[in-house]
């Protein structure tokens, strides 16, 4: 047990380091990209500077129309500068937003990987059921003090599986249908029993719990993946 605990702690620390390094790398890369981008953006006052140079280089522009044209160019340059400042702000906001999205994506990815590992570990070891009580009166099953409400059909299916587990039997879909319906097994369809199993799993709600609790044995049938000594029916 200490070895398992140590391994889990080491895995958690390694995962935290990966997240930390990933976030740092994202921030550094985007910061460098921001610096390079803003350094290569043209100056907002470049247009005004060119218009001013036109004034200085062309002293012979003295008519009213020519001066009016230069004045219009100067006003256009001012408008361009104001718009370009707005563009800079928009670019900055988009870069910040991109950084946040990339960091969130990394965190979610690491979280999903960790959850997949946990689910795989649970699937390998199975559900550890210390007690399982089926109550017909309450129409529910109590697994490790957790209550799962059942429909009448799901309760019947679970009860049949529990009785079979106590006898170390694996039931086919046709056998389950025969026991519940009271008909001869030869007259029952395998699909009908499979449908009852599916409805039982759907009623239990939690897919992980239901798939591991009610196991499918290839080419044999269905069985409860619990110890027969923990099953109790009231």
**121 and 8 part of one domain:** yes
Q: pLDDT by residue (tens digit) across 115-170?
A: 777 666 655 555 567 788 888 888 888 877 778 888 888 889 888 888 888 888 88
Q: Which of 80, 110, 125 is the last residue of a domain?
A: 125
Domain count, the chain: 2
**98 and 145 part of one domain:** no
Q: Which domain holds residue 103?
A: 2-125
* pLDDT at residue 10, as a whole number: 58
What is the Cα–Cα distance from 70 to 38, expressed in whole angstroms?
29
Q: Which of 76, 92, 125 is the last residue of a domain?
A: 125
* pLDDT at residue 8, as a whole number: 47
Q: Find all residues with CB under 8 Å of 183, minimum gap 6, and list them.
A: 177
**74 and 145 part of one domain:** no
**98 and 144 part of one domain:** no
Q: pLDDT by residue (tens digit) across 11-41?
A: 556 656 766 777 777 778 878 877 777 777 6
């Amino acid at each position: 047990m200490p070895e398992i605990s140590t391994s889990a702690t080491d895995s958690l620390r390694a995962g935290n380091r990966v997240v930390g390094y990933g976030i740092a790398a994202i921030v550094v890369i985007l910061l460098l990209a921001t610096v390079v981008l803003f350094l290569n953006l043209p100056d907002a006052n470049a247009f005004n500077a060119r218009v001013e140079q036109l004034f200085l280089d062309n002293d012979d522009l003295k008519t009213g129309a020519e001066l009016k044209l230069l004045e219009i160019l100067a006003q256009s340059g001012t408008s361009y500068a104001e718009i370009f400042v707005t563009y800079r702000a928009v670019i900055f906001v988009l870069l910040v937003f991109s950084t946040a999205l990339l960091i969130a994506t990394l965190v979610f990815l690491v979280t999903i990987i960790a959850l997949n590992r946990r689910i795989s570990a649970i699937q390998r070891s199975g559900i550890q059921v210390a007690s399982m009580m089926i109550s017909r009166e309450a129409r529910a099953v109590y697994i490790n003090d957790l209550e799962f409400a059942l429909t009448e059909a799901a309760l019947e299916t679970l009860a049949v599986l529990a009785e079979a587990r106590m006898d170390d039997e694996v039931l086919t879909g046709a056998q389950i249908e025969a026991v519940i319906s009271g008909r001869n097994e030869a007259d029952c369809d395998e699909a009908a029993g499979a449908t009852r199993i599916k409805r039982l799993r759907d009623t239990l709600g939690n897919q992980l719990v239901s798939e591991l609790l009610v196991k499918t044995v290839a080419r044999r049938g269905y069985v409860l993946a619990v110890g027969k000594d923990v099953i109790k029916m009231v």
